[in-house]
Amino acid sequence: MNTKELFNDHVMATYGRFPLTLTEGKGTRVRDDQGREYLDFCMGIAVCSLGHCHPKVVTAIQEQAAKLIHVSNLYFTDNQGLLAEEINQEHVKLPGKLFFSNSGAEANDGLIKSARRYGHLKPQADGKPRFEVLTFKQSFHGRTLGSLAATGQEKIHQGFDPLLTGFRYLPYNDICALEGAVSSETVAILLEPIQGEGGVNVATGEFLEAIQALCKKNDLLLFFDEVQTGFGRCGDAMAWRVNAPGIEPDGISWAKGMGGGVPIGSFWLSDRIVDQEKEVKLSSLMNAGSHGSTYGGNPLVCAASLATLKEIREQDLAGNATYQAQRIRNEIESWGSPVVTEVRGLGLLLGIGLNPTLIPTEDGETCALKIVKELMAKGLLVPPAGPETFRLLPPLNVTNEEIDEALSIIKSVLSNYDTNPS
């Protein structure tokens, strides 16, 4: 049986997969089972921040695998402590505590549970707990029952009702709508600083600052979902800092790029005092017995994550993300192509908006999917983001030559639809 037949017979068909079986990867390149090489600007959807099989990540995993792969969170392990210290001191740079999960959805569930705890500590006037979390249209927070309910996209909810209650979805970057939406039940606001799956939409600095002010005024928690944007991808360790460096959130979730390819996620809560009289820290609301994960933060994944985050910091790969993003923008702008409506995003989370009227499609296929398939046929892997956008998610250590190669493939594909070829 070939791989596709094995999948057909034994794996649930939850993904619309491309007809490609990948077998090996090194740096920016992956190879399929036919021996064909691809330039990978999908990178596991923003997961492999250092490219495939980076030697420092491989060594960290090999050494740790030979020493200790897994023990229960009933015991201390040095890697988990060291990773939490690295994230707190070098990346978040605010006092707080971390909980380690295995994915972004679980990290967001942790934030949602933390909001509920805070709603019990600081209830409504009648003593009932606050519980509502405001999130945004086109957001994506994951596929667990908690994180999918937080997600502001109907297609993600379809067929799974009744959903977990306590979410309302507001228009992104609309301060007035948000101000009018806060109710006595509201306890938190959760948002992506840049919406990734929703089409690469960037929150303005003004919007982020207005949210912080609204949270202070109404005693709401401010949570950032940095699952796709965090750890250098957007040109700063934390994406919110690019447009609103002064903001101090109450909670953050991460996954994807933090592990360099291994399944690890985390949520962080601030050490801010939330009950002056009893000197209660926000992070202490998630106390013994309140949350857990068998695998979360095991020695193996923490070793890989620690190696990844140190490399991102020591090589200033966030700086490379900013530099390469500017080169990409300049080059695409120089084409003057009517097929490209805009380049959105920050750092190396970029969305290339396409003009659907210039790209004819059949059988309900979106123009983004059509272009993604054509790029793949020419040796470049990229993921779509919504119907009219594809994303560029190269590793953070991508070189000038690799960017130039990808851009030349993109130019050759898009110029087929260009009524004004340059």
Binding site for ligand PLP (CB under 6 A): 103-105, 108, 140-142, 192, 196-197, 225, 227-228, 255, 265
In the complex, least distance from residue 288 CB atom to ligand PLP, rounded to whole angstroms? 25
In the complex, least distance from residue 207 CB atom to ligand PLP, rounded to whole angstroms? 17
Nearer to ligand PLP, 266 or 355 (CB): 266
Contact predicate 49/396, CB 8 Å: yes
Report the alpha-carbon distance of residue 397 to residue 325 in Å, rounded: 12
In the complex, least distance from residue 229 CB atom to ligand PLP, rounded to whole angstroms? 7
Report the alpha-carbon distance of residue 93 to residue 91 in Å, rounded: 6
Nearer to ligand PLP, 27 or 345 (CB): 345
Closest of 331, 356, 353 to residue 417, by C-alpha: 356
Spatial CB neighbours of 330, under 8 Å, sequence gap ≥ 6:
none
Nearer to ligand PLP, 83 or 190 (CB): 190
Nearer to ligand PLP, 255 or 380 (CB): 255
Which burial class, exposed, middle or buried, applies to 377 when counting CB atoms under 10 A from its CB (0-12, 13-18, 19+)? exposed
In the complex, least distance from residue 262 CB atom to ligand PLP, rounded to whole angstroms? 12
Helix (H/G/I), strand (E/B), else coil: 365: coil
Helix (H) or strand (E) holding 23: strand 22-26
Spatial CB neighbours of 392, under 8 Å, sequence gap ≥ 6:
41, 328, 348, 350, 351, 352, 382, 406
In the complex, least distance from residue 213 CB atom to ligand PLP, rounded to whole angstroms? 24
Contact predicate 335/411, CB 8 Å: yes
Nearer to ligand PLP, 131 or 223 (CB): 223
In the complex, least distance from residue 245 CB atom to ligand PLP, rounded to whole angstroms? 21
Question: What b/e string do you get for 73-94 counting C-beta neighbours within 10 Å, with b at 16 or more?
Answer: beeebebbeebbebbbeebbeb
Q: At what angle do helices 400-414 and 367-377 cross, to 10 degrees?
A: 120
Nearer to ligand PLP, 39 or 255 (CB): 255
- CA quadruple 360, 365, 369, 373: dihedral, nearest 10: -80
The residue of the chain with the least Cβ separation from ligand PLP equals 104
In the complex, least distance from residue 40 CB atom to ligand PLP, rounded to whole angstroms? 17
In the complex, least distance from residue 195 CB atom to ligand PLP, rounded to whole angstroms? 7
Nearer to ligand PLP, 198 or 353 (CB): 198
CA 193 to chain centre: 10
Whole-Å CA distances, 314 to 90, 196, 310, 320 = 10, 26, 6, 12
Nearer to ligand PLP, 204 or 420 (CB): 204
Q: How many residues belong to the chain?
A: 422
In the complex, least distance from residue 294 CB atom to ligand PLP, rounded to whole angstroms? 17
In the complex, least distance from residue 46 CB atom to ligand PLP, rounded to whole angstroms? 8
Nearer to ligand PLP, 79 or 266 (CB): 266
Closest of 60, 111, 317, 116 to residue 227, by C-alpha: 111
Helix (H/G/I), strand (E/B), else coil: 102: coil
Nearer to ligand PLP, 192 or 236 (CB): 192
